[in-house]
A and B are shown apart, each in its own frame.
Chain A
Amino acid sequence: MIPRYQRILFWSLTGGILLMAAFLLHGCQQAHKRLTALNDATPIAAPTTASTEDITLYLASDADGSVTATRSQLALSQDPTVHARVLLDHLLSQYALPTSTHPLHSGPAVDDVFLLSDPSGVKGQLAVINLRSSFVANHPSGILVEELTVQSIIGTLHAALPQIAHIRFLVDGQPHDTLAGHADLQRTYTATDTTTRPGPPTEEATRQ
């Protein structure tokens, strides 16, 4: 026969254990929600006041090394720097989709885009794209894959803002040697139509 005070003590302890377990479970759920909110990698929302407009994205494909222009629609700000940043974030978020032909990690990629009058005196603006170090750190490494990313950015920016003549890259506000070990980020790129479709080698080209 168990004494009454021991039964009361047992049930009290059992109740306490259950309460503590429920409290811990609740705490874990709250912490998980907080961390998930911090890791939200969706691109920034388009300005609600901006109207949707046609844009041209220069999308890359690792399979054949091509860059092709694709029409799309996106709500964009009229401010050129915000316009460029949102456009590039949208472009690079396309590469995080499961169907992407040029797969890149998801997450914010472009910190800022600065548009400057070209110091070299050449007609047109100089665009300085400040990439996030997290984007650079997670970018796949290789000449083709890095070059395609750079060409995709250049082509898209050139199509949206034709006043841009040259493009330079920074990473977290600092000059950076390469994108992920290969593509040169120290040079100034000319903003042009970067549509590319590599052709096969020919016998004639060898004898030119």
Chain B
Amino acid sequence: MTQRRNPILNAATTLTLGAITCLSLHSQIPPLPPPKQPAAINRNLILLDPAHGGDDTGAQLPDNILEKNITLALAARIKPLLSSAGFAVLSTRDNDAEIATDQRAGIANHARPTACLVIHATSSGTGVHLFTSALDARATAPRTLPWDTAQAASIPQSLRLVNEFGLAIDRAKLPLILSRASVRPLDNLTCPAVAIELAPLANDTSKSTPVTDSAYQQQVAQAIVTALISWRTHNPPPPPPASRPIAPPAAPQAAPPAQPKATPSTPPPPPNPTGAAK
């Protein structure tokens, strides 16, 4: 009898001890972290995308000038101006490399900049042409963004951004056309995105100013930077996420709000030198 009960007692003791150990360990395990939030938008990061490059020369402009070279030159003028205004700049290309439009969109969507600027040049029309995506605006961002219509959720911000560009270019007394277009990679970007197309500047005199004119390019670059400074001023960072419900109930409001990951590493916005923004 005793011999039969011993194994049962041993097993019961082992199970009891195991259950007690599991319960004690479980109380020490930290709770699972909440589902990962998408990375925060970097308020000081601007993406420049000089279109074309490599074998993709873009438009053939007068005097055998290639569009790919003009876009790169304009990006090179914008970049130092943005840096001096306290922006970090990410460029999809800094040399004559051919990069697929999907790859450009991938770079931009991964970096999550506050604004994306796709740069083009043409010999048709006059002045500066600004475009936002022709996609219909989507009210709320779905959990999964279809690649071909990724920009749809950002259309309202893009329209506000293009308006900022329009105001700055208008103040610079440059001819301007605001429109919408179906151009890659504009439709694939998740950031507020604008395509800017530089066209020759029609003058009262017979000869128009070409897109290669350095003074013209500098004027446009300055207007773009002014617009982006105004954009940053008009777009305060989103409110911090609410305190987690596991916080002690005694002082739930006392904890400092969590900051987005990218913000502390970036410098604070400098004072607006243009006075364009409030």
Contact = CB atoms under 8 A, between A and B. Distances in A.
B125 A142 contact: yes
A144 B125 contact: yes
A188 to B, nearest CB: 10
Interface stretch (A48-56, A115-123, A199-207): A199-207
Nearest to A199: B178
A200 B166 contact: yes
Interface string A184-208: 1001010000001011111101111
B178 A181 contact: no
B6 to A, nearest CB: 74
A147 interface: yes
Given A181-B59, A184-B183, A207-B234, A145 B124 contact: yes
A198 B178 CA distance: 6
Interface stretch (B18-26, B157-165, B251-259, B262-270): B157-165
Contacts of A150: 182
A144 B234 contact: no
Contacts of A184: 182-184, 187
- Count chain B CB atoms within 10 A of each CB in A65, A181, A182 and give the residue with the most: A182
Contacts of B120: 142-143, 182
B178 A143 contact: no
Q: Determine the main DSSP class of B at the interface with A.
A: mixed
Contact of B164 (A147, A198, A206): A206
- Count chain B CB atoms within 10 A of each CB in A65, A177, A183, A196 and give the residue with the most: A65
A65 B131 CA distance: 11
B75 interface: no
A203 B168 CA distance: 11
B139 to A, nearest CB: 14
A205 B163 contact: yes
Q: Determine the main DSSP class of A at the interface with B.
A: loop
Contact of A200 (B159, B165, B170, B197): B170
Contacts of A180: 59
A205 B163 CA distance: 7
Contacts of B67: 141, 181
A121 to B, nearest CB: 18
B16 to A, nearest CB: 64
A180 B181 CA distance: 14
A62 interface: yes
B195 interface: yes
Interface in B148-198: 148, 156, 159-160, 162-167, 170, 176-179, 181-184, 187, 195, 197
Interface string A56-74: 0000001111000000000
Given A64-B177, A208-B160, A147 B182 contact: yes
A142 B70 CA distance: 13
Contacts of A181: 52, 56, 58-59, 67
Contacts of B234: 206-207
Contacts of B183: 143, 147, 182-184
A140 interface: yes
B179 A145 contact: no
B122 A141 contact: yes
A63 B126 contact: yes
B129 A144 contact: yes
B160 A142 contact: no
Contact of B163 (A63, A64, A182, A201): A201
A143 B177 contact: no
A205 B130 CA distance: 15
Contact of A196 (B122, B123, B126, B179): B179
B166 A62 contact: no
Contacts of A199: 178
Interface of B: 52, 56, 58-60, 67, 120, 122-126, 129, 131, 134, 148, 156, 159-160, 162-167, 170, 176-179, 181-184, 187, 195, 197, 199, 230, 234
9 shortest A-B CB distances, which residue pairs?
A201-B166, A142-B122, A141-B59, A145-B124, A65-B177, A205-B163, A184-B182, A147-B181, A62-B125
Given A144-B122, A183-B181, 4 more contacts: A63-B125, A177-B184, A201-B162, A201-B176
29 contacts: A63-B126, A140-B123, A141-B58, A141-B67, A142-B122, A143-B183, A144-B124, A144-B181, A147-B131, A147-B134, A180-B59, A181-B67, A182-B120, A182-B181, A182-B183, A183-B181, A183-B183, A184-B182, A184-B187, A187-B182, A189-B182, A200-B166, A200-B176, A201-B163, A202-B167, A203-B167, A205-B159, A206-B234, A208-B156
